[in-house]
Structure 1
Amino acid sequence: MRTVAIILGGGSGKRMGSRCGRGSRRGSGRNKVLLKLAGRPILEWSLAVFSKHPQVTDILVVARKEDLEEIRELCQGADLGGGKIRDAIEGGAERQDSVANAVQYLSRIGLGPDDRVLIHDGARPLVTRAIIDRCLEQLSDHQVAVPGVPVKETVKKVRDGIVLETVERDQLWAVQTPQSFRFRALQQAHWQARHDGYQGTDDASLAERIGIQVAVFEGDYHNIKVTTPEDLVVAKAYLDSIKGELVMDQSHVDRIANPVIFRVGIGYDVHAFQEGRPLFLGGIQVPSHLGLQGHSDADVLLHAMIDALLGAAGLDDIGNQFPDTDPKFKDIRSTELLRETGLLVSKEGYSLVNIDAVVITQQPRISSYADAIKENIAGILGISPRQIGIKGKTTEGLGFEGRGEGITAQAVASLCRVQE
């Protein structure tokens, strides 16, 4: 009997922020499974555990087209032992499409209907042999089995920010991976979903909807999915605490790397008002009869943020990176400068934790545009709007800003990096 592990390695890392910014300039981000955790790519931790499991016979990695070459090199170069990694194949637009591609691949190589398949998120590096053992044990009595943990927090049903009801949590479980299947059940579930045009939240849900019973067994609260910079810190802290007990063989685990480095930068900018120019703040055009004077579009808020990011990363300031003596920056949108800054910060290995800014002006009222500004900046940097703070302040008529002569902006940025 064959046991195949499908490792999904197609995460874009949007919530990872600028640490994942080396990829698409549209903000899709570098694949988070290629980020380093305690000296090794996140994906390699999962590959090591499955490679060393005695019952796993084959491993198939599914990844985005643009990451295939790098992931294949990782699979070939990693000292994982056993030669179990069969291939890395291209995934689809969604997670379900990626698994469907893997199912088709396994069908072509002749996997039998009763062979076992484990589907695992490559962004869950803390999976253990014990969880895999329980997955396979459950398949003795069930066609599909998934690990999970009882929900500990109080869960409330909410609409428009108002609690509708408190949900009884006695029967609520948070489901994890690897999800285990007899191959016939997996084929049937995906075939029917594709036939019906149905998109599920996980592979087990596809089996549920066609009447296949799904068993749930206790997983591990440590088996987290690394989605945000904070998750990376938590995973690193857990690895520090167990010192290599995670995998079967201590030789797999590198010496635990140095702690996470946090960096903070401050940015400041000021621009005078000028008639006949549009007013840009945070990358959006704000209705105003006055714009700001400058070589670029004079977006004072983005300029302060750019300097904060560059300062936190230890890089030269905005004047050196994008000098106003260079004609190519004449009237350039500051959104492009921010995008380039995100890439520069990412190349230094940093992830954006959060950025907070204050715009000091009598007019316009920043509160009217704060949400739109946060959404715009989040899209440029590939982060969540919740990682951005935007506030507007007046000077009660005092000083440069109070006299309506211009706008000042101040920003603070926090970055983190796992030192290797």
Structure 2
Amino acid sequence: MTFSTLVVAAGTGMRAGAGDAKQWRTLAGKPVIRWSVETLLAAGASHVVVVVAKGEEARAAAALEGLTGWRLAVGGETRAASVRAGLETLAPAPEQIVLVHDAARPIVPEAVVRRLIDAIEGGADAALPVLPVADTLKRRAGETIETVDRDGLFRAQTPQAFRVGALSRAWTQWPGDQTPTDDAAVVEHAGGRVDLVEGDARLMKLTYPEDFDMAERLIPRQTRVGSGFDVHRWGPGGSVWLCGIEVPHDQTLIGHSDADAGLHALTDAILGALSAGDIGDHFPPSDPQWKGASSDRFLQHAADLVSRRGGKIVHVDVTLICEQPKVKPHRQAMRERIAGLLSLPLDAVSVKATTTEGLGFTGRNEGLAAQAVATLDLPAA
């Protein structure tokens, strides 16, 4: 199935509360506008025209960076004007199918797209996804409350599908002093055939601040687990950094940074869960800027990567393997430090220690080892 798409993203979204317009806000780590553009391209759109307000071109380019198959158009003062501006950018191919979609509906199930295309290929001039009205409807008429019969009533969603020629012709017949509530209404007014197809509750429109939390819950997610391991040898010194805490000791750990094996192992565990390489990829020991660096910077970098992916760290567990120093007196402080660095509740952070009963390099007091496990919650790819 071949089709093009207009994604209308020129509105201000005043009801969504203070801050950026809703299409530029972040949902599960990605700009809202990127969600629908990615999905429509993946569903087979030959190209996507993203219609934005004048002056927002650079912001749109940043939000869609790395994607191919899209281009920008500048919209008008109203949604209707923006749709018409987008239509003008399409190649003059009257039989081409075009989907018109609101950027504020970030979750676009591919099955809905298929149903829309099937309806247009079956002879409809327009097709739109709908859901039946399930709630009892009330209308206030002055001081009187009326119950509205909901039989035959539907909630209209986008994307809505059309033949380019049919939609363009319908717009020429639309009264200039009126504003349609959706594009299917324009085809209805022109006498075209409009088909209703089954919609999807996930195609919700972000309108109010609380809608963002609901949309986050609708996005499929996955649990990822990563492990990390690190070793440093002992050398002359008067203290050692372990899990972000300076512990008095008659030796120190030798390394390019502060040699905090606990935080190094934990950083690698988080990077592993992200499939993002290891600590050496992000902070090469050959780079002089990391000489003596505090390892909490490495850990916070890994946590930032999780946040940018729209994920969250659920739980971390660090095991220090050494004969000395004694870890138990400092364990609570270590847990609190890690919890603070990762913005986790204390009961989501475990730190413990063990020995190798005098065996191996740790048993001979030649060095200290640490291993860690991190559990993440991420949006499904």
Tell whether the structures are fold-level matches, with TM greater than 0.5. Answer: yes
CA distance in 1, matches of 2:143, 2:309: 46
CA distance in 1, matches of 2:174, 2:159: 20
Any conservation in 2 of the 1:151–1:172 contact (CA below 8 Å)? yes
Which one-letter code corresponds to 1:92 in the other structure?
G
1:48-127 correspondence to structure 2 within 5 Å? 48-54=38-44, 56-75=45-64, 77-78=65-66, 80=67, 83-85=68-70, 87-106=71-90, 109-110=91-92, 112-127=93-108
Tell me which residue corresponds to 1:379. Answer: none
Equivalent residue number for residue 145 of structure 1: 127
* Secondary structure of 2:48's aligned partner: strand
Match of residue 248 from structure 2 = none
1:198 Cα offset (Å): 3.0
CA deviation profile, 1:17-55 (whole Å, cap 9, x unmatched): 22x2xxxxxxxxx2210100000000110011011123x
- Structure 1: how far apart are the matches of 2:24 and 2:162? 27
Shift of the 52–197 alpha-carbon distance from structure 1 to 2, 3 Å rule, reads same
Q: 1:140 to 1:13 in 2, by over 3 A?
A: same
Question: Shift of residue 156 of structure 1?
Answer: 1.7
CA distance in 2 between counterparts of 1:140 and 1:174 reads 23
CA distance in 1, matches of 2:196, 2:222: 26
Residue 162 of structure 1: how far off its partner (Å)? 3.0
- Sequence identity percentage: 32
TM-score normalised by length of structure 2: 0.57
Quick one: distance in 2 between partners of 1:61 and 1:243? 33
Q: Which has the larger radius of gyration?
A: 2
Q: Structure 1 pair 91/219, CA: closer, same or farther in 2 (3 Å)?
A: same
Structure 1 pair 167/50, CA: closer, same or farther in 2 (3 Å)? Answer: same
Equivalents in 2 of 1:149, 1:33: separation in Å?
23
Q: Verify the 8 A CA contact 2:12 2:21 in the aligned structure 1.
A: yes
Alpha-carbon deviations, 1:183-230, whole Å to 9, x = none? 111101111126x43321111001111111211111101210111110
Looking at structure 2, the residues matched to 140 and 243 of structure 1 have their Cα atoms a distance apart, in angstroms, of 40
- Aligned positions of 1:209-228 closer than 5 A: 209-228=189-208
**Residue correspondences, number:** 233
Residue 257 (structure 1) shift: 2.4
**Corresponding residue number in structure 2 for 1:239:** 219
Q: Which residue of 1 aligns with 2:156?
A: 175
Equivalent residue for 1:160, pick from 133, 142, 150: 142
Q: Provide the rounded CA distance (Å) in 2 between the counterparts of 1:153 and 1:138.
A: 28
Choose 96-105 or 34-43, whichever is displaced more: 96-105
Q: Distance in 1 between matches of 2:12 and 2:309?
A: 28
Backbone CA RMSD of aligned residues: 2.6
Which has the larger displacement, 7-16 or 200-209?
7-16
Cα pair 1:243 1:256 within 8 Å, conserved: no
Cα separation, 2, equivalents of 1:238 and 1:118: 23
Distance 1:47 1:243, change over 3 A: farther
Distance 1:210 1:202 in 2: 14
1:47 and 1:7 map into 2 onto residues whose CA distance is 7
Aligned to 1:39: 29
Task: Give 1:241 shift.
Answer: 5.4
Residue identity in the other structure for 1:258? K
Q: List aligned pairs for 1:14-413, cutoff 5 A.
A: 14-18=14-18, 20=19, 30-54=20-44, 56-75=45-64, 77-78=65-66, 80=67, 83-85=68-70, 87-106=71-90, 109-110=91-92, 112-141=93-122, 142-160=124-142, 162-163=144-145, 165-193=146-174, 196-239=176-219, 255-258=309-312
The one-letter code sitting in structure 2 at the alignment partner of 1:147 is P
Letter of the 1:62 partner, please give it.
Answer: V
Cα distance per residue 1:263-296 (max 9 Å; x no partner)? xxxxxxxxxxxxxxxxxxxxxxxxxxxxxxxxxx
Unaligned runs of 5+ in 2: 225-274, 276-305, 314-378
Q: Which has the higher contact order (CA 8 A, sep 6+)?
A: 1
In 2, the alpha carbon distance for the partners of 1:40 and 1:180 equals: 26
| Counterparts in 2 of 1:121 and 1:242: CA distance versus 1, 3 Å | farther
The answer to whether the Cα contact below 8 Å between 2:109 and 2:202 also exists between their aligned partners in 1 is no
User: 1:225/1:242 Cα in 2 relative to 1: closer, same or farther (>3 Å)?
Assistant: farther
Decide whether aligned partners of structure 1 residues 255 and 243 sit closer, same or farther in structure 2, where only a CA change above 3 A counts: farther
- C-alpha separation in 1, matches of 2:31 and 2:213: 14
**Structure 1 residue ranges without an equivalent (≥5):** 21-29, 245-250, 260-419
Cα distance change of structure 1 residues 154 and 70 upon mapping to structure 2, 3 Å threshold: same
State the SS of the aligned residue for 1:65.
coil
The reply on whether 1:4 has 2:58 as its aligned counterpart is: no
